[in-house]
């Protein structure tokens, strides 16, 4: 799979895919991804390369470049890092990308991607390859001081961009009970939202992630047979609100499709059903057999990680990849 192309000595994008009983496509073997393991292991890397099919000279936009795992492999195949735009709203990720790609000189932007997409689009920029690998990175989850982890003790922050915006603490300690319950129900899809919100309000002020995790666990209880911490859904809800995550996707998707060049490919990896539903809908709005369709779906069902990938990257467990190719501009 990661052998060099025998004719050109270039890295190959080829991937052998299997179809599971439920129709989801998975790669046959992904053990070579261990080679790229660093701080953050890129999820579904073989599948991303398969669907994005990077080719020499192509223009690449990475909306969530993070620790450059996907970006490195894609830029190695386009041979044009200077034509790549790498975006992240996290300063630590930006520092890492600047160091990692210092000699290659891609355009690196510290900004939320919804703002970047509007700006690039207003300048008429077009791309052959667009990737969004949504959500948080492993360094976010592994560093207690960022406040994302349900298992490590840290401040209730959860901002991807720590230079601005409200923190999880602002929400937990200031929102009224009804608003808290609504957030936890809607963005955490948590059936026990009312009880959790009541307990949060009763225990204020709450200053640390462990304090919050314990309050949620004692009010929601461990579900029988579940391996997941009972506060995971509440943490997800807070994180989504703190970073305005769904609005970022909703605002950007239609413009991203417009920014694709003819035959350009877009891939989006999401990590929970709220995101996946939005991406599915945004693609469906532009795809199909209609006279005005602008894209063709490359994945009818979302692609998920193989058992082989999950062995060395359990965080890929909830990843879902959807991809599409541009067939024409609107109105053509
Ligand atoms: C799952 S990681 C991406 C990892 C990357 N593909 C790699 O291989 O290293 C997601 C990254 O996207 C960034 N991010 C999430 N939402 C963002 C947004 N709306 N705008 C810009 N960056 C965002 C996070 O800060 C994080 O670094």
Distance between alpha carbon 71 and the CA centroid of its chain, in Å? 14
With the most atoms of ligand 1 within 8 angstroms of its CB, the residue from 35, 36, 52, 66 to mutate is 66
Question: Which protein residue has the closest C-alpha to ligand 1 atom 5?
Answer: 66
Residue nearest atom 7 in ligand 1 by C-alpha distance: 69
pLDDT beyond 70 at 195: yes
**Structure pTM?**
0.90
User: What integer is the mean pLDDT of 118-130?
Assistant: 98
Backbone phi and psi for residue 157, each to the nearest 5 degrees, phi listed first = -100, -80
Give the domain ranges of the chain: 17-138+245-326, 162-242
Please give the CATH topology (third level) of the domain spanning 17-138+245-326: Rossmann fold (3.40.50)
**16 strand-pairing partners:** none
pLDDT digits (tens, 9 = 90+) for 59-98: 999 999 999 999 999 999 999 999 999 999 999 999 999 9
- The CA-based angle 24-27-29, given to 5 degrees, is 145
Whether residue 328 is predicted with pLDDT greater than 70 in this model: the reply is yes
Residue 123 near residue 53 (C-beta atoms within 8 A): no
Tens digit of each residue's pLDDT (9 = 90 or more) over 140-176: 999 999 999 999 999 999 999 999 999 999 999 999 9
CA distance linking residue 292 with residue 116, whole number of Å? 27
pLDDT band at 40 (very low <50, low <70, confident <90, very high): confident
Query: 215: which DSSP letter?
Result: H
Nearest CA to ligand 1 atom 25: 90
The more confident residue out of 38 and 61 is 61
Give the CATH H-level superfamily of domain 162-242: Putative methyltransferase TM0872, insert domain (1.10.150.170)
Whether 257 shows a pLDDT value over 90: the answer reads yes
DSSP 318: G
Q: Is 87 in the pocket of ligand 1 (CB under 6 A)?
A: yes
Residue 19 pLDDT class (50, 70, 90 cuts): very low
End-to-end CA distance of the chain: 37
């Amino acid at each position: 799979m990661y052998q060099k192309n025998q004719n050109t000595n270039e890295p190959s994008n080829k991937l052998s895919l299997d179809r599971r009983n439920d129709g989801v496509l998975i790669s046959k073997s992904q053990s070579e991804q261990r080679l790229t393991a660093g701080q953050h292991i890129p999820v579904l890397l073989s599948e991303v390369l398969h669907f994005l099919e990077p080719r020499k000279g192509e223009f690449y936009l990475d909306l969530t470049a993070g620790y450059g795992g996907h970006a490195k492999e894609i830029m190695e195949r386009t041979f044009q890092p200077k034509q790549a735009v790498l975006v992240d709203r996290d300063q630590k990720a930006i520092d890492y990308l600047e160091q990692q790609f210092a000699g290659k000189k891609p355009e690196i932007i510290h900004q939320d991607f919804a703002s970047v997409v509007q700006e690039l689009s207003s300048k008429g920029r077009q791309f052959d390859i667009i990737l969004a690998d949504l959500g948080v990175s492993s360094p976010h989850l592994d560093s207690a001081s960022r406040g994302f982890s349900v298992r490590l003790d840290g401040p209730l922050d959860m901002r991807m961009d720590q230079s601005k915006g409200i923190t999880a603490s602002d929400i937990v300690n200031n929102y009224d009970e009804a608003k808290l319950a609504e957030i936890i129900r809607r963005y955490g899809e948590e059936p026990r939202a009312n009880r959790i919100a009541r307990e949060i309000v009763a225990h204020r002020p709450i200053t640390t992630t462990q304090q919050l995790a314990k309050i949620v666990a004692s009010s929601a209880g461990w579900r029988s047979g579940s391996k997941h911490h009972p506060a995971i859904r509440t943490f997800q809800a807070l994180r989504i609100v703190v970073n305005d995550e769904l609005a970022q996707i909703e605002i950007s998707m239609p413009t991203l499709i417009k920014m694709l060049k003819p035959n350009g490919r877009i891939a989006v990896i999401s990590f929970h059903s709220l995101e996946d539903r939005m991406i599915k809908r945004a693609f469906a709005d532009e795809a199909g057999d209609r006279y005005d369709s602008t894209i063709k779906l490359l994945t009818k069902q979302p692609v998920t990680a193989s058992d082989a990938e999950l062995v060395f990257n359990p965080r890929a467990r909830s990843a879902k990849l959807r991809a599409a190719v541009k067939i024409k501009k609107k109105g053509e």
